[in-house]
Chain A
């Protein structure tokens, strides 16, 4: 691969990852507010909490222990 196209693909990968992470943060921010408008705020906040825990578990878990991953 040519250096320019390699740099371009890395930039695209960086932007893709940043967009995903920013979207996740936005969902958590809106979620904690919208949860208050659900019929059962405590349950909705609990569900959001589990989603946050799931995000953390998956995001960390998929990287930990991967010896060969470049």
Chain B
């Protein structure tokens, strides 16, 4: 991986600080830092919206019977919670990190296409409003689950149309963002920054962007066909007209499984940046990490049908998808091993970013193991659509993606704002999140193993105790996230000034810049040795 040794920077970079002020700065901006900030705030807003839905779900599930919401509304909450968290919270957060960090990490002055970048972001609030506004549509929001399976999605009300358009818009935004990121990385690296010297965060984003270009059109095409089935008399997936609903499931999961890795690979990149910095050692096995990321990306396109073992498929198909799924554990294991080896005999300190990175490593590995359990066909058939699956993917996506993003926020906050965050507050955020996350989701393994089905607002009384525990944990976890907001606002308003390189072990290009970095950076490319 590249490291720093240049004294290029400073000098002229403060000469071009002029940029519009007020609200117009944010609407018209083509600056990657501004757009990164917009993405991150949008993501946090959606995270809160999706979180409120999750807490309503958990409040309903606190006791058996129906307490707070009607079953139909419960289904709508489940559906929109999933869509909002995936398309509104996690993916935009990852793009926010890419916008802030990719140009600075490769020594580029900005993203390749500034206006396209602005447009990519400003599409998102409209999509978010469409998605959330679907609750107000006649018939309410979609209630078919985030997978939008027909026939429910064909029969649903107008809220489904709003959701389909929201997915189109968010898909277009993702494709434009990906084109921008790929072009920036491949064409605008500083002299000497060869591909195999790029920071791993940049590598993971390069591969993620290729994956997005591969799968987003597939999702857009399939929801377009859903739309024509609903309104234009086609029967692609509508069994009533001779269509094939199972084909939708295949096409959806051909998008859906790579999507999981689209959400987790940037998190891997952040962990691969944070862990070496706080272990004060170079990342162990850099090249193998790149190869493992590429392997995970390609394998992720070969395992989609493990989401639909219960649909029925030939034994040969089941075996193929079972073994292919298990195979992903190999490159993932390489990554886990390399992170541990990086820490081995390192001079580690445990500031908040490192705590979140270790939390990510520990909990994501648990999520990975339960994924292996679910890959086994007979086990999956018994656990399909139970709370075991809910526990599994929350360990992967909350403790995986989200914890790594928290690590990234605390790691780069001093660079972004020019101020240090409150370490005590950060540690409280970590420990409360870590404890309450496990209180929420670990019992769901037990509930799933005992046979509690997901997406149902009522349950048999023997599931009561663990549901109460999970609901208490969920409220604790939700409230803990207010600490992040407080920590970030406190940093921006009154944090002590941060040095250019607050982390002793940080060695990527952005740390050669002052904190906060000037509005325009690397107009003269640095030379990487």
A residues neighboring B (CB under 8 Å): 10, 13-14, 17-18, 21-22, 24-26, 28-33, 36, 41-42, 45, 49, 52-53, 55-57, 59-61, 63-70
Contact = CB atoms under 8 A, between A and B. Distances in A.
Nearest to B216: A25
A60 B300 CA distance: 14
A52 B291 contact: no
A41 B224 CA distance: 16
B213 A66 contact: no
B14 interface: no
B194 A45 contact: no
A21 B247 contact: no
Nearest to B210: A59
A37 B441 CA distance: 44
A42 B218 contact: no
Query: What 6 A-B pairs have minimum CB-CB distances, sorted nearest first?
Result: A32-B221, A29-B217, A28-B217, A67-B196, A14-B112, A21-B179
B25 interface: no
Contact of A33 (B178, B192, B221, B291): B221
A32 to B, nearest CB: 3
Contact of A21 (B192, B213, B224, B254): B213
A28 B251 CA distance: 12
Nearest to A50: B301
Interface in B12-71: none
A50 to B, nearest CB: 10
A65 B287 contact: yes
Given A25-B175, A36-B225, A70-B191, A57 B216 contact: no
B217 A53 contact: no
Nearest to B193: A70
B251 A70 contact: no
B461 interface: no
A69 B196 CA distance: 8
B196 A61 contact: no
A67 B183 contact: no
A60 B218 contact: no
A52 B214 contact: yes
B426 to A, nearest CB: 35
A54 to B, nearest CB: 10
B195 interface: yes
B221 A29 contact: yes
Interface in B215-230: 215-218, 220-222, 224-225
A67 B197 CA distance: 7
A53 B215 CA distance: 10
Contact of B251 (A14, A22, A32, A69): A32
Given A53-B298, A64-B294, 14 more contacts: A13-B187, A17-B182, A18-B179, A21-B179, A21-B213, A24-B213, A25-B175, A26-B217, A42-B247, A49-B301, A52-B215, A52-B254, A67-B195, A70-B189
B220 A29 contact: yes
Interface residues of B, number: 48
Nearest to A29: B217
Summarize A's interface: helix, strand, loop or mixed. Answer: helix
B291 A45 contact: no
Contact of A10 (B187, B194, B297): B187
Contact of A56 (B116, B183, B210): B210
Given A13-B187, A52-B301, A64-B290, A25 B195 contact: no
- Residue among A26, A63, A65 having the largest count of chain B Cβ atoms under 10 Å: A63
Contacts of B178: 21
B210 A60 contact: yes
Interface in B244-264: 244, 247, 250-251, 254
B211 interface: yes
Contacts of B225: 32-33, 36
A53 B180 CA distance: 21
Contacts of B222: 32
Contacts of B287: 65
A28 B214 contact: yes
Nearest to A33: B221
Interface in B273-320: 287, 290-291, 294, 297-298, 301-302
A33 B210 CA distance: 21
B149 interface: no
Contacts of A70: 189, 191-194
A60 to B, nearest CB: 5
A57 B247 CA distance: 24
B113 interface: yes
Nearest to A10: B187
A23 B244 CA distance: 28
5 contacts: A17-B183, A25-B216, A32-B217, A32-B251, A42-B247
Interface string B165-186: 0000000000100111011001
Contacts of A33: 221, 224-225
B236 A36 contact: yes
Nearest to A66: B195
B301 A56 contact: yes
B291 A65 contact: yes
B127 interface: no
